[in-house]
Amino acid sequence: SKLSPPPPSAAGLVGQRVVGDINACCRSCGVCERGGDLARNHCPRRTVLGILGRNGTYAQFLCLPVHNLHVVPDSIPDEIAVLVEPLAAACRIVEQRIVDPSVEPPQRVCVLGDGKLGLLIAAVLGRQGLQHRPVIFGRHQEKMDKVSDVVDTALSETSSTPEHEHKYDVCVDATGSPQGLSQAQALLRPMGTLVLKSTCAAGAGFNAAPFVIDELKVVGSRCGPFPAALELLRSAQPPLELRSFVTGSFPLSRAEEALALAAAKGSLKVQLMCADAQAA
């Protein structure tokens, strides 16, 4: 992997709508030079918007390197553009070449978890041209229906049935729960690949034996490429419609109401809009 070309000048971005990659790498250390853009999450000198060494979006002012800024096409409204970051995290799995439609025999892929990230991962993987439609396992059929145009859906309790047990080459865990590990292990074929999107601790009761016996590969997957996410929003086929992922939009003056809705069961994405006129 190589570092992407130098960014445009800051002056050329003035007045344009942009989204910003939250990881600001130095682009000059050994990790950046050897790993290129693929290693942007691992620069030892990196700062992270709102997390490490940089103010987040609720500060009065924030800054990012010009290289982290990506122009939003006119066809993408603000309320959808703010989903670029989690969509990019879903695209990271493709960037890591874990899922590949050219692999023989064709891969069987599944996703665990029907939260916002799990649904976005399913939406991305379902558009990769895989011979077998991916399957998403979750607890809420109404949520999974949002991506049923490109993936098959199944309730979580069916994952241990003969139809699914040890049938998948790649399983993406986006459950946010330690139980996702054991569920994924039961779904994977021997020598399959478990992609971890959950950062929860496994706990003292974690049993590593099945992972060793079945020689499973465990791959972590974090933040992903903003350009790929923007391109999906611009031109994906079938079109990637994310409006149903936004549970509500509120002006800052209604922040407490927005937080209450965000905490409610079933909420996917609640937005606080800086410009009151844009709030629904």
Work out the number of other CB atoms within 10 angstroms of the CB of residue 274. 10
As beta bridge partners, residue 196 has 173, 220
pLDDT of residue 60: 85
Residue 98: what pLDDT?
96
pLDDT score, position 201: 64
Angle between helices 226-235 and 84-95 (to 10 degrees): 110
For residues 27 and 44, the answer to whether their CB atoms sit within 8 Å is no
pLDDT on residue 42? 93
Amino acid 279: pLDDT: 43
Q: Is 113 left (phi over 0), alpha (psi -120 to 50) or beta?
A: left
Report d(CA 96, CA 89) in Å as an integer. 11
Tokens found for residue 64: 């990012």
Task: Compute the 3-state secondary structure of the chain and give helix, strand, coil in percent, each to the nearest 5.
Answer: 35, 20, 45
pLDDT tens string, the chain, 280 residues long: the values are 667 776 667 788 888 999 999 999 998 999 999 988 889 899 999 999 999 999 998 888 899 999 999 999 999 999 899 999 999 999 999 999 999 999 999 999 999 999 999 999 999 999 999 999 999 999 999 999 999 999 999 999 888 888 999 999 999 999 988 888 889 999 999 999 999 998 876 665 778 898 999 999 999 999 999 999 999 999 999 999 899 999 999 998 999 999 999 999 888 899 988 764 444 4
CA distance 237 to 58: 35
Find the largest Cα–Cα distance for the chain. Answer: 59
What CA–CA distance (Å, rounded) separates 224 from 21?
Answer: 9
How high is the pLDDT of residue 199? 80
Q: Is 70 exposed, middle or buried (0-12, 13-18, 19+ CB in 10 A)?
A: buried
Q: Is the pTM value of this prediction over 0.75?
A: yes
Cα 24 to chain centroid distance, Å, stands at 18
In angstroms, what CA-CA distances link 79 with 14, 39, 54, 116, 133?
20, 29, 23, 15, 29
